[in-house]
Structure 1
Amino acid sequence: MSFLRVLWGLNHALDRRSKAMDRTLGVTGPQRLAVRLVGLVPGIHPSELAELLCMHPSTLTGIVQRLVDAGFLVREADPDDGRRIRLTLTTAGEAVDRATEGTVEAAVRTVLGSTGAEEVVNASALLHAIRRELEGPDDRTRMSEPKT
């Protein structure tokens, strides 16, 4: 039970930090991660972003819409295929992309900086295994392992 308590505590801490980020930056943790990835891959297609986030595309649609409505992202027609769209950051989105103070990733970066590489690899493998077990073999929303 102690490990499960740690997982619940981590989930609660992520939720709290996400709400704090929403108050200070105007984006939640998942929205911030989407902004960061669009900043790293300007013009990314939503389906590619969903895969990177290990998220079902329909879940991502709501996140993208909120970011567009808030003025952080724009949807643009793909010049190579007018049926598809690409996502890019606005000036406000670029500011969110650059912000680091008080973010989930800043906390993770701090911990990773004082953790050995083998410990990080082992922890990542354990978390992936838990996720796979939670998703189950028949979960249609199951995504591939994140590319590292």
Structure 2
Amino acid sequence: MLANEESQRAVEDSTKLGRTLGFLRLLLAVDHALDSRSKRMQMRLGITAPQRFFLRIVGRFPGISAGEVASIMEVHPSTLTGVLRRLQERRWVNREDDKADRRRSLLKLTPEGKRYDELRTGTAESAVKRALQRVSAEDADAAARVLSAVIAELQRED
């Protein structure tokens, strides 16, 4: 059998994976697609998808703390340490001491950071926006509920 025929047969057989493996296949495909888009963003725009998501949050909530950004992104704060450092090195984000609590730093976008915050094409966000425009609000809400349930189960200790 030719490699192309084997590949086609595997694709056809993937419909026999069942509900759980079929859904997991889609999740892994989303993960791969996001990673691929992020790499293209890095090459074309000079910023990765997680970096831009970080900037978008700071742009929406000027004066937010790094911990609050981590909470919105649903990651551990230590995960964002490198992202924040790179954004500061590029002078896209400024840290300022919180006047009410000197132990906290508050984040704001620089003029250059605002330029990346305003990007509208070639981003993961623009692709997700187009996809959401193709489905009903009810379907998008249902997908969000399923994804939230999957996240909760993946984070749970067995």
Q: Normalising to structure 2: TM-score of the pair? A: 0.83
Q: RMSD of the alignment, in Å?
A: 1.3
The count of residues paired between Structure 1 and Structure 2 equals 138
Shift of 1:24: 2.1
Aligned residue number for residue 75 of structure 1: 95
* Residue correspondence of structure 1 range 1-148 to structure 2 within 5 A: 1-137=21-157
Residue identity matched to 2:50: P
Q: Work out the CA distance in 2 between the residues paired with 1:67 and 1:84.
A: 18
Amino acid at match of 1:51: S
Tell me what 2:16 maps to. Answer: none
Unmatched runs of 5 consecutive residues or more in structure 2: 1-20
- More deviation, 76-85/120-129: 76-85
| Runs of 4 or more consecutive aligned structure 1 residues displaced over 4 Å after TM superposition | none
Q: Which has the higher helix share?
A: 2
Q: TM-score, normalised by structure 1?
A: 0.88
Report the 3-state secondary structure (helix = DSSP H, G, I; strand = E; otherwise coil) of the residue aligned with 2:94: strand
Greater Rg, structure 1 or structure 2?
A: 2
**Counterpart Cα distance in 2 of 1:86 and 1:65:** 14
| Greater RCO, 1 or 2 (C-alpha within 8 Å, sep 6+) | 1
Deviations 1:47-71 (A, max 9, x none): 1111111010111111111111122
How many Å apart are 1:3 and its aligned residue?
Answer: 2.1
Deviations 1:28-77 (A, max 9, x none): 11111000000000110111111111010111111111111122111111
TM-superposed CA distance for 1:7, in Å, is: 1.4
Per-residue CA distance 1:97-135 (angstroms, 9 max, x = gap): 000111111011111112111111110011111111111
Looking at structure 2, the residues matched to 41 and 131 of structure 1 have their Cα atoms a distance apart, in angstroms, of 25
SS in 2 for 1:83: coil
Report the Cα offset of residue 137 of structure 1: 4.3
* Alpha-carbon distance between aligned partners in 2 of 1:10 and 1:40, rounded to the nearest angstrom: 25
